[in-house]
Chains A and B, each alone.
Chain A
Amino acid sequence: MERILDIEQLKKYYGSDAGNITKAVDGICMYVDRGEFVAIMGASGSGKTTLLNCISTIDTVTSGHIIVNDQDITEMKEKDFADFRRENLGFIFQDFNLLDTLTIEENISLSLIINKKDPADIGKRVHVIADKLGIGDVLSKFPYEVSGGQKQRCACARALINEPKLILADEPTGALDSKSSRLLLEIMSDINKKMQATILMVTHDPFSASFCKRILFLKDGKIFNEIFRGEKSRKDFFNEILDILTLLGGEVGNVR
């Protein structure tokens, strides 16, 4: 299996005073293989978003290595980040981050345009992916004219269209109602299966996480547990997640 992401002993500390250091990420080792759909779960402040920000080159690391597609991004120069992100990463945010001056179609096509793809090809690809995600009929609308679910599917399409090596999703269902959430997650699960897209999703919602194949639990900046869906039904997996979360709420010592 091809390894897309490999994290070795990643640490991210905030604060400079000796006595006042926040260990947001404290020595995490993990990996993501090609075609995986992985969730990172944890309570607020467990270091989920910081970990994601480090992987997406938004944040710098204190120590450790992050290897994405055989490139160590902790050794990379800042000026190369833009190219790296463009070629390797796709993003889905909780609050969509769509550009409100562009239509849905233009938002999706943006990264292709930046990559200087053939203009004739761009339109075709946008329509294909939009139809797949069920937003084909709102392409000419502006973000403020469509629903939250449609916005997030647009963000999803934007992240997908470039066929990035890794899609990073930060609480993608956080701002959606349950129906839109379910639709989005089914779509994400679908593209993971059919298009072999590799997705790393941060969430604190067990329902969202139950769509994934593997879940990592974070607590106080460390990996606390890891579970695989395997052949389990989504419902069983959901219950398993709930069990772990119950444990997470208690002391670590109680679990071992």
Chain B
Amino acid sequence: MLGKLAVRNTKRNLKDYLLYLITITISFSLILAFNLVASSKEVVEFSSSMGAFKGVLTFVNVIIVFVVCFLINYTTRFMFEKRSKEFGTYMLLGIKKKDIARLLVTENILLGFSALVLSVPLGFLFSQFLSLVIVKMLVIPKVIFISLNFVSVGLLALYFLAIYVLVLLNLLRRIRKMTVHDFLYFDKQNEKKMFRSNKKRNIIFVLSVILGIASLVLWHSRCNMDKFGIQETLTYLIIAVIMLIISIYGVSATCADIMLSVLLKSKKIKYQKDNLFVTRTFASKARTMSFTFGTLSTLILLSLLCLNFSSINKGVYRTSIENTAPYDVHIYDSEQPFDNFDEYVKVIDEDYTINEIIEYAIYGEPAHQIQDYYDVEFYKFDPVMKLSDYNKLLKLRNMDTIELKDNEYYLVTRNQSLYKVKDNDDIQTIQFADKKLHLKAIDTKSHWNNITNSGRFVVIVPDKYVQELAIYERHLIVDTVEETTANLRDKIKKDMEPQLVWIDEDGTKHDSYYRVSVRGAVIEEQNAMTAMLASTCLYLAFILTSAVGTVLAVQSLSDSMKHKYRYLTLRRLGVNDIALFKTIRKQLFVLFGVPVVYSVLSSFCMLASLNNVYQTFLQSRSVYLLYFAGSLAIFFFIYGIYWIAAYIGFKRNINGEG
């Protein structure tokens, strides 16, 4: 009989918690889909960066498991509280607490298990879709079929088990503490006011707001070129985020109460339209779930940050390719004797029509007057390039060439390092042999990562000044008519192995493949990485947002059942349906809106600060605003679905029989 009861209860719960079930099913399927893709051999072989992606995915999965755990724990507890009277009846009939606990565990496992079973085919389907997206992004002409492997399914089962063991242990602990009286009269308990004195509440609110502002200031203070690269920055950023989260909890716990007292103080607002009803309803909700509100706001913040990170990542994609491989093939050598570049050209020539070949040398200026501001501990010289070589490089990229007078030099540096030399009076004039050279201008556009291997800048001087200088590096640039592909890099690696691989005295193999860069290969890798990162961020954001939406929707749907009489009373008092539904919409709007406000504001501040660092890679200074708007749109789209579902369910419940 207990088994039958469990099955029937599960069936009934299925109806009540459909939204919750859909959410956890999709969450489980996404976990499976990503694991399947990451463990698929065909996908991993695409690009060398997939290894890193696997690491990121593991980390993301840990976060997801925590979030899903929170969601399941919350809903289970919620369902349990809602049905406490039913459990009280069981106890009165003489069913032991132990058996009731067993009943509940069976029910939950039935519910969870149905989600798990459904999520396997669904996850399998998602993984095909995901592979389709990746293939599309990589412009690969074949379709990759992701096969179902049992390690991934096993991993999902393991996550499932871990989540349910935690949730059920927590539930059993609760049941053990409750008496039959607690069960029977649970719904009659008064809500507890979190703060007895208003003074204490106001102090906590003000302190939380101050803490929040302080955390954003701290975040902002680390977000500039000067400090962003430093190791301690990460620690400071983490501290800032922790401070912000504490502040979110503090504000969430107090704001509903403050809102209420402000609204109730003003008679004009209080008695206007349905303000009184909506605020009272919301406040009664918020007082009992202030901690949950904090968690929801934190999840929303994380979700928005994920979406923004995804956009920024897509935004830097083009810059990143230009910074890594602006030319079709680039090979350099910084160890003497230098490789004979003709052999490389021959290899390329076998498959490609060569358009142009440029060879240039990097000379070393021993006084290291500019390196002093960069990495003088590694390189005791300034890397120098001839003006004529530089102009050839510019011409190949369709950039305007430059001219230098005899007493002028030109500086090419990385955008991120610009602050080191910009407005620096000491380098306005440098001593070159016996001549004084004046800085004509600084350029960042023509710089790419491998322009030299000896620092993050190059000094361009008129050709005649380099004659006395030693050559530190040789570079080969090849421009092909056809677009290159990753195959060319593999071919060069294979054919030029004698030059690129050597074995030291201990017999260990070393390679210097990093000296070869092929644009086609870089684009492919970048594509894969962008696709993977963007989809992972979306995946995380989706699950975070759905968790928040589910908690709020389940809450409001259960309220609509529990407090049906409130709406019935309104109706009896003469409120017509249009006005009543408007009140409900307003109420849901407040319930869904309040946890969002703080998160949106703080994520915007964080993004604006981050823009100080990222703007150099992005198309323009203010493009981040567009990204922010896009992220908000995606967030509100998912969130809105839950809002609409909650609204429809709410209406159905208060219109329903019984």
What's the nearest-Cβ distance from chain B to residue A237, in Å?
31
Check if B95 sits within 8 Å of A58, measured CB to CB.
no
User: What string of 1s and 0s marks CB contacts (under 8 Å) between B6-29 and chain A?
Assistant: 001101100000000000000000
Check if B180 sits within 8 Å of A57, measured CB to CB.
yes
Q: Most chain-A CB neighbours within 10 Å: which of B94, B95, B180? A: B94
Residue of B nearest to A158 (CB): B93
Task: Name B92's contact: one of A58, A60, A100, A101 (CB within 8 Å).
Answer: A58
- Contacts A53-B181, A58-B184 hold; do A114 and B9 have CB atoms under 8 A apart? no
Q: Number of contacts between A and B (CB, 8 Å)?
A: 59
For residue B96, CB closer than 8 A to chain A, the reply is yes
Check if B5 sits within 8 Å of A85, measured CB to CB.
no
Complex CA gap A144/B12 in Å reads 14
Check if A111 sits within 8 Å of B180, measured CB to CB.
no
Check if B5 sits within 8 Å of A83, measured CB to CB.
no
For residue B86, CB closer than 8 A to chain A, the reply is yes
Task: Name A85's contact: one of B94, B179, B184 (CB within 8 Å).
Answer: B94
Tell me which residues from 162 to 209 in chain B have a Cβ below 8 Å from any Cβ of chain A.
179-181, 184
Tell me which residues from 443 to 478 in chain B have a Cβ below 8 Å from any Cβ of chain A.
none
User: What string of 1s and 0s marks CB contacts (under 8 Å) between A80-109 and chain B?
Assistant: 011101110101000001011110001000
User: What string of 1s and 0s marks CB contacts (under 8 Å) between A155-174 and chain B?
Assistant: 00010000000000000000
Complex CA gap A79/B97 in Å reads 8
Interface size of B as a range:
20 to 34
Tell me which residues from 106 to 145 in chain A have a Cβ below 8 Å from any Cβ of chain B.
106, 110-111, 113-115, 144
- Contacts A58-B181, A85-B92 hold; do A101 and B97 have CB atoms under 8 A apart? no
For residue B493, CB closer than 8 A to chain A, the reply is no
Complex CA gap A176/B490 in Å reads 86
For residue A59, CB closer than 8 A to chain B, the reply is yes
Complex CA gap A82/B179 in Å reads 11
Check if B180 sits within 8 Å of A102, measured CB to CB.
no
Q: Most chain-A CB neighbours within 10 Å: which of B1, B85, B181? A: B1
Task: Name B180's contact: one of A81, A100, A158 (CB within 8 Å).
Answer: A81
User: What string of 1s and 0s marks CB contacts (under 8 Å) between B85-109 and chain A?
Assistant: 1101101111111000000000000
Residue of B nearest to A83 (CB): B94
For residue A8, CB closer than 8 A to chain B, the reply is no
For residue B658, CB closer than 8 A to chain A, the reply is yes
Check if B97 sits within 8 Å of A97, measured CB to CB.
no
Check if B1 sits within 8 Å of A101, measured CB to CB.
no
Check if B180 sits within 8 Å of A101, measured CB to CB.
no
Complex CA gap A81/B86 in Å reads 17
Complex contacts, B95 vs chain A, CB 8 Å = 82, 86, 114
Task: Name A101's contact: one of B12, B85, B181, B658 (CB within 8 Å).
Answer: B12
Check if A78 sits within 8 Å of B94, measured CB to CB.
no
Complex CA gap A47/B1 in Å reads 37
Complex CA gap A59/B5 in Å reads 27
Q: Most chain-B CB neighbours within 10 Å: which of A78, A86, A87? A: A86
For residue A56, CB closer than 8 A to chain B, the reply is yes
Known: A82-B96, A106-B1, A114-B94. 14 other contacts (CB 8 A): A56-B92, A79-B96, A81-B91, A82-B95, A85-B92, A85-B93, A87-B94, A97-B92, A99-B5, A99-B89, A101-B8, A110-B1, A110-B93, A114-B95
25 contacts across the A-B interface (CB closer than 8 A): A53-B181, A57-B180, A58-B181, A58-B184, A78-B179, A81-B91, A82-B91, A82-B95, A82-B96, A82-B97, A85-B91, A85-B92, A85-B93, A86-B94, A86-B95, A89-B92, A97-B85, A97-B92, A99-B89, A101-B8, A101-B11, A102-B8, A110-B93, A114-B93, A114-B94
